[in-house]
Structure 1
């Protein structure tokens, strides 16, 4: 972490180094436990509803040393921190961002570490937990800046950049979580009439949609709706 402090009338960076080593690393049987997050933000627009959530949603991805693909910040969960604290620490160390973490886990995935992708043993296998993190602050300097460059991308580009299926699944869960929040506040929006009329045009009853979402029975319907909305966003 790099904070700013005043010294002799000047503002100078105060250096905080990223954690190294695995002395405090948590394990579950043969799985190394990993915590990470998908940092996101919503672009400011005049008409929040008409522009649509997917056209406003951006996620932050980072580069890896000696690799051409982009990833989401993640790293080992250590025994002196909660799972959410570990995810926030990794976002700070690798991507240089702070924010508000959604405490609901996006999901749990098992994958091999990048150095053991071709291994046939459980050694090097990770069990990862991902969160959504609404970014509120981007630091100019961060601990692993030399190893990771950061890049804001739209949802459709992030989907193409995801190297592994588990990353796409985590991204889809993050998008779904944002749509849940979007619809739960839809009637409080001054522009909600535009969306209601648009959904009515295509025979979609927004009251029924909201009721299904709020009662938890949203998986099948929301998956279909996300696909249709994703296609609409890409081609309009």
Structure 2
């Protein structure tokens, strides 16, 4: 039964997932095409100097893409469930409601994680062709919070969509916006290095938050 739920959820998100994958691919091509163009008009040492000492980031195009991907997948997956009341039918399957919710959220979370891992590997491999390993490693660590934000945005957006009470939704949206800004704070390399583990733990913990709002929706709690 869980396999069937995974398959059903994958069918819902597959086109949005493909679209976001193509967007990531296009952004990566643009980033490294721009790098190649810059190399034609600047010496490598001068270009590296701007990156290392002036804080120039050649990959800013990627900054908000994980956030967008998380929000899009959550909307595509859960909004139809609420609008068409299909999730009520899902809750009547012969499977524990918590397992159903975890399976539903799990397919989106895992799919996003796979997309982010692949895009990160492409970024690293392409980056090694132009920059020393130290620059690419530093850039990657600076980007990790952006990917964690994408996963967190998916979890919180799913939580908000399934929440049955609008005043709670508004409160959670405000909280999510404020919390999400923590992942984008600052504009320096490696600024999050000391707290990356904590941010990763929070992202994992929030991944199961959908259980609470899903449970409230099933029980018809409106207070």
Same-fold status (TM-score > 0.5):
no
Superposition TM-score tier, normalisation by shorter sequence: under 0.3
More helix by percentage: 2
More strand by percentage: 1
Q: TM-score, normalised to structure 2's length?
A: 0.24
Relative CO higher for 1 or 2, CA cutoff 8 Å, sep ≥ 6? 2
